[in-house]
Structure 1
Amino acid sequence: MASTHWKVRPYVLTGGRTRTRQHLLIHTLVSVPYYDAFFAAGLLPEARTLYENARETKSVAELSACSGMSLGVTRVVVDDLAATDRLVIHADAYSSPFDFRLLERLRDGLRQLA
């Protein structure tokens, strides 16, 4: 008999919230400073996937893609993890979404995908 993988509804992951305490842009970088396997084991599978993927510094958009969660849900879960001090939200290094350094980083990322 095939095993069934249940996916948690976004409402459960976010507690029905759509807003975050911090302003998280798609290019905002986040990371896990000290991975805690015991903490990870207590998370819902979707949140655990996000937490584990953030062991390497990634943008909110990258974490959304890696975890399979929508961008809005990813933002809320990232904000929740940051509130527990398990995840660090890095200061925005870009003064605007059209910052030349951001565009270069985007270009380099797209080249890696090609």
Structure 2
Amino acid sequence: MPSDTPPDGRARARSRRIRPYTLTGGRTRARHELLVEALVSVPEYDPRLPETLMPESRMLYEHARSRASIAELSVAIAAPLGVVRVLISDLVSQGAVYVHATAHTYQHDREMLGRILDGLQRLPV
């Protein structure tokens, strides 16, 4: 019979105790558009900030010290993408983390798309 406990056992135990809507205060949408591939980083690490954050936000803040995508952060703290988006959005609003622009941001910018295409064409085959 397969075990439904992940190798470390802690992530599933925590998720059973705390419902996602509790972590987000009932919010289901982030204030900022955060795609799963969006990279998040900490522009200036404040060692005092983690003490003021709830555990999941603290983990996100610490993991974002080395640039990571929303998807990677979701896996790192074993939380659903929707929850991570809301919590990261809160950290963005506080100025604690920075979300780097994705190609989606430039989808209507013909000049940027031309520069990307030019760069791709220069790559060795």
Normalised by the size of structure 2, how large is the TM-score? Answer: 0.67
- 2:33 is matched with 23
Q: Summarize deviations over 1:11-43 as a string: whole Å, max 9, x none.
A: 222111111122111101110111112110111
Q: Equivalent residue of 2:40, what SS?
A: strand
Unaligned ranges ≥5, structure 2: 1-12, 108-115, 117-125
Instruction: Tell me how large the CA RMSD over aligned residues is.
Output: 2.1
Alignment coverage as a number of residue pairs:
94
- 2:89 is matched with 79
One-letter amino acid of the counterpart of residue 32, structure 2: Q
Identity of aligned residues (%): 47
**Counterpart pick for 2:65 among 40, 44, 55:** 55
Normalised by the size of structure 1, how large is the TM-score? Answer: 0.73
Q: Equivalent residue of 1:30, what SS?
A: strand
Unaligned ranges ≥5, structure 1: 102-114
Q: Map of 1:5-24 to 2, 5 A cutoff?
A: 7-24=17-34
CA apart distance, 1:52: 0.2
Cα distance in 1 for partners of 2:95, 2:67 equals: 15
The runs of 4+ residues in structure 1 deviating greater than 4 Å are none
